[in-house]
Amino acid sequence: MGGGPPTGDLRKLPSVEALAAELDAPHALAVTAARAAIEDRRAELRRGEDGDGDMAARARAALAAAERPSLRRVINASGVIVHTNLGRAPLAAAARDAVARAAEGYCNLELDLSSGRRGARHDHLAALLTELTGAQDGFAVNNCAAAVLLCAAALGGEGGEIVVSRGQLVEIGGSFRIPEVIAQSGARLVEVGTTNRTRLTDYERALGPGTAAILRAHPSNFRTIGFVEEVAIEPLCGLGVPVIDDVGSGVLAEGIAVLAPEPPVQRSVAAGATLVCFSGDKLLGGPQAGVIVGQAEGVARARAHPLARALRIDKLSLAALEATLRLYRDPQRALAELPALAMLVAGEAELGARAELMRALLAAAGIATTPARAGAKVGGGALPLAELDGPVVAIDPGERGADALAAALRAGAPPVIGRIHEGRLLLDPRTLTDAEAALAVGAVVAAHA
């Protein structure tokens, strides 16, 4: 006897138009939701599953899913501060306000208000960047990968040689590979040294009439340890050829112990690098952007290159980046108001109080937790070996399993992202505000209902 559902069950399914007519929505959207509900139910019947036969309810659920934005706010309880999959650094209130102002109407993006003539969007950041980094000039593009490509094209395009240590021929997220970037720039790659050890003499031997620049690439999300050697930025800049220094994460803040291993922007500028590239959305704590600072002539060449227009930053990111940079004029204010920096330096008392509050709220809802400690991560390719010890809230998921509980939290409104460790779901207070901690607790309670 053949398997499969009775033919009559399939025939009982409503037509798309009839089901769409029951929905209070524009016709095209209603038809899409109705069709999705019918197809879902038809697939269940063909598998021999019972399921919910209320087609109107299914269609309304499909309609609600279709109307929900794809890009949504999530609650980051993972303990990864600069979480690439979650949009990296959250913006400061000042940056969010700046975005809202720029988005509300028109703005002077490329208008010189004093003369009434056309201006340049780069002018909005130049003075701030020179003030904060000590560079002669600076501007921003779409992201740091774009900044590196633009700098390589500006200095080494049309066949110039760019010298790179073999230990820095890295691949980071999104298959961004240094050799391919140099190839795309039109320059020719010259490798020096070995994977683990490169000396100043290696660079010296590689220099010649065709040398356009030396590129020092930040290793980002990996480290070599043990029998290793690399050349600092100061002796590289002393070789008498232009140096492009990709310092990666964009450390402008000073005096934060955990950031000590990351290369500070100011050091590269002071050493005399022709161009210094860094991210706006990692440890800088701003929006996605790639910042280029350095010597006036080098910056001018990058700004005038045809790629600069293709890679330019948009007005909303520009507004957020300007507001973020303004916070750095007062180091204490930056530390307090930039969420990424505040999370980095959060102390035991603050984290412990937040974790205890979460455990108390969960206990009141009948959900058992265990006090635990775990190492949070900086994330975003920065400080891959660093762990920030602190208290976490550990939830035993019971028979359902940690994966099922994590999936239920991701399906909530808003979604909550924790991390699984040794069969338990961990909620890390380091990447939560007090308000977000309450939302995370609410999501856990709803998932247990």
Q: Output phi, psi for 313, to 5 deg.
A: -85, 150
CATH of the domain at 289: 3.40.640.10
Residues 207, 190 share a domain:
yes
CATH of the domain at 438: 3.90.1150.180
Q: Domain for residue 9, yes or no?
A: no
- Distances 172 to 90, 198, 261 between C-alpha atoms, Å: 21, 20, 19
- What local confidence, expressed as pLDDT, does residue 7 receive? 60
Residues 39, 116 share a domain:
no
Q: Domain for residue 368, yes or no?
A: yes
Residues 290, 197 share a domain:
yes
Query: Which residues of the chain have a pLDDT value below 50?
Result: 1-2
Residue 377 to residue 130: CA distance in whole angstroms: 31
Q: Domain for residue 124, yes or no?
A: yes
182 and 152 in contact (C-beta within 8 Å)? yes
- What local confidence, expressed as pLDDT, does residue 1 receive? 40
Q: Domain for residue 220, yes or no?
A: yes
Which domain does 29 fall in, by range? 14-66
Residues 239, 120 share a domain:
yes
Domain boundary among 290, 311, 337: 337
Residues 107, 56 share a domain:
no
How many other CB atoms are found less than 10 A from the CB of residue 85?
12
- What local confidence, expressed as pLDDT, does residue 5 receive? 54
Six token digits for residue 150: 């633009």
- What local confidence, expressed as pLDDT, does residue 46 receive? 86
Write the DSSP assignment of 124-182 as a string of letters: HHHHHHHHHH--SEEEEES-HHHHHHHHHHHHHTTT-EEEEEGGG--EEGGGEEHHHHH
> For the whole model, what pTM was predicted?
0.90
Residues 299, 169 share a domain:
yes
Say how far residue 8 (Cα) sits from the centre of its chain.
Answer: 52
Q: How far apart are the first and last CA of the chain?
A: 42
Residues 349, 322 share a domain:
no
Residue 58 to residue 347: CA distance in whole angstroms: 48
Which single residue is written with the structure tokens 């005038």? Answer: 304
* Number of domains present in the structure of the chain: 3
Residues 263, 195 share a domain:
yes
pLDDT digits (tens, 9 = 90+) for 147-171: 999 999 999 988 899 999 999 888 8
23 and 37 in contact (C-beta within 8 Å)? no
Residues 345, 308 share a domain:
no
Six token digits for residue 104: 């509300």
Residues 357, 329 share a domain:
no
Residues 385, 253 share a domain:
no
Residues 166, 58 share a domain:
no
C-alpha torsion angle, residues 154, 158, 159, 161 (rounded to 10) = -10
